[in-house]
Chain A
């Protein structure tokens, strides 16, 4: 959340990285830093050793991958401010675009890997209390007077921006919808929100541990994780009639890998994410894999769902300016007299 926790974590991570090889007798081990967003902690904790084994078999060299997690925007800023990330695996393309605009990442980064450089996808779902006591089935149910909705602040949380866009997409597609009617829906929706946490994990904690609110708008993987952690007698997942295909992208940070000489390893690490082995790990952590066969194996986890994409909003640049930048819709909703 704050930069200081990040630094502390980074230092702990770096220290662990320094200490780990001391036990073994391996000379000149490569170390990569993967700077990621909040809910991928568990995923990369499993991916990293798997890649380590593959890399050792291929090159005979050991590799250590340190991971750092925080809100996606905060992480992008940390990399901009000099955090030496070999790869970034963030919540939305806009955050890597910001790095590209400042020369840390090649402008064509999104074309360098398959599937828009997003090796896994997710979507936005509702997490409700067990038995769904408020009868929440779709977006309009969120406006019922006695329903409190938990979502983090889209200014600080990538997940919250996907939440916002999913709701906006639904509102825009109602019969007779206009820009004004969609804005009105968003305004009423956000007035059902009692707390704006700064990150997705914070919002999950508010909902599950503090018992706050009736519906949590969450990443699908975060919702499944919460259900697994706290049991189906605590909460259940509701799929709305329409949601958004969230594509969390990955990229090598060109300026860092060229300086450190880690381009080959960093690229291999990201390409590994597309292999059958990694895709299976991805599915086990409730992200939607790109590999159709792996997707088939876990199909019962991923109900077919009508989804829009960020392209339906004209891409991140436009969406960002319209909804989340200073003076955008989110600001207007919370500023009186506008």
Chain B
């Protein structure tokens, strides 16, 4: 009798893993490796100098800050949207469901131009806000609006499958044991959703950090105020400063990687605790 190792569900494990690794290397690792190697023609001091400029730091602060805020706005509202989509049946639900994916499908430039037209001082919404002294288009607030727009589907689509799996019985049991609605939500529903909420937050955040197309139309692009880091990368490329562009890209890459890793770890620990 021959000993059998535990069988994998995938046939030909070695082959599929091989293809997976080759594919990942080609599509992800190779371009990123080039990016990591590119800036050093400047020398370590040169790389540091090209990143430590006040204008670069302001742009990085803005890109990461706006992305975190936008993801934070998207989590509660995305949860609400996902909840309504999963738990209720109403006329026009299919239509609303497809609308959620629109920010993914729409070319980002189109989204940016549409949002700008809406929020510019003469736009439908801008017209109402201007007398109140609120400026959205051409300010950092405009960047937030654009990032909330592009990030929403990431939160909704991450939460939906988890919500569908959430047993209704758990809520009913909580209710029969005398829990109020708020208690049920806080003690039963939210803990079960927490990993998915974090995952949605991470996805929206990742999208927001790198977003370029929609933001440059609404941002105003003033240095130190509303200039995002990806725009600075483009500006450096146009000056044929490839190494400087790569240096800035590398910083964004490392920071994004660190944030996403942290969020993944957090999510993993929560998932373990829940089970």
Q: A194-B138, A212-B120, A336-B54 are in contact. Are A156 and B238 (CB under 8 A)?
A: yes
Chain B positions within 8 Å of A197 at CB level: 221
Stretch at the interface among B154-162, B212-220, B246-254: B212-220
Chain B positions within 8 Å of A212 at CB level: 120-121, 138
Chain A positions within 8 Å of B220 at CB level: 194-196
Counting CB contacts under 8 A, is A83 at the interface?
A: no
Chain B positions within 8 Å of A98 at CB level: 240
Summarize A's interface: helix, strand, loop or mixed.
loop
B120 touches A156 (CB 8 A): no
B256 CB, min distance to chain A CBs, angstroms:
20
Counting CB contacts under 8 A, is A82 at the interface?
A: no
A335 touches B224 (CB 8 A): yes
B223 touches A2 (CB 8 A): no
A153 touches B221 (CB 8 A): yes
B residues 182-221 touching A (CB-CB < 8 Å): 212-213, 216-217, 220-221
Chain B positions within 8 Å of A331 at CB level: 55, 223
Counting CB contacts under 8 A, is A159 at the interface?
A: no
> On chain B, which size bracket covers the interface?
20 to 34
A195 touches B234 (CB 8 A): no
Bound Cα distance A336, B53 (Å):
11
Counting CB contacts under 8 A, is B104 at the interface?
A: no
A residues 295-338 touching B (CB-CB < 8 Å): 325-326, 331, 334-337
Counting CB contacts under 8 A, is B63 at the interface?
A: no
Chain B positions within 8 Å of A334 at CB level: 55, 222-224
B54 touches A325 (CB 8 A): no
Residue in contact with B237 in the complex, picked from A5, A77, A193, A194, CB distance below 8 Å: A77
A residues 176-201 touching B (CB-CB < 8 Å): 193-198
> On chain A, which size bracket covers the interface?
20 to 34
A57 CB, min distance to chain B CBs, angstroms:
40
Flag A17-29 by CB within 8 Å of B: 1 or 0 each: 0000000000000
Chain A positions within 8 Å of B116 at CB level: 210
B240 touches A77 (CB 8 A): yes
Known: A156-B234, A335-B223. 11 other contacts (CB 8 A): A155-B235, A155-B238, A156-B235, A195-B220, A196-B223, A198-B216, A198-B231, A212-B120, A325-B239, A331-B223, A334-B224
User: What are 21 pairs between A and B in contact, CB < 8 Å?
Assistant: A1-B109, A2-B109, A2-B213, A2-B234, A5-B109, A71-B238, A73-B239, A74-B238, A77-B238, A153-B221, A155-B238, A156-B234, A156-B235, A196-B223, A198-B216, A331-B55, A331-B223, A334-B55, A334-B224, A335-B54, A336-B54
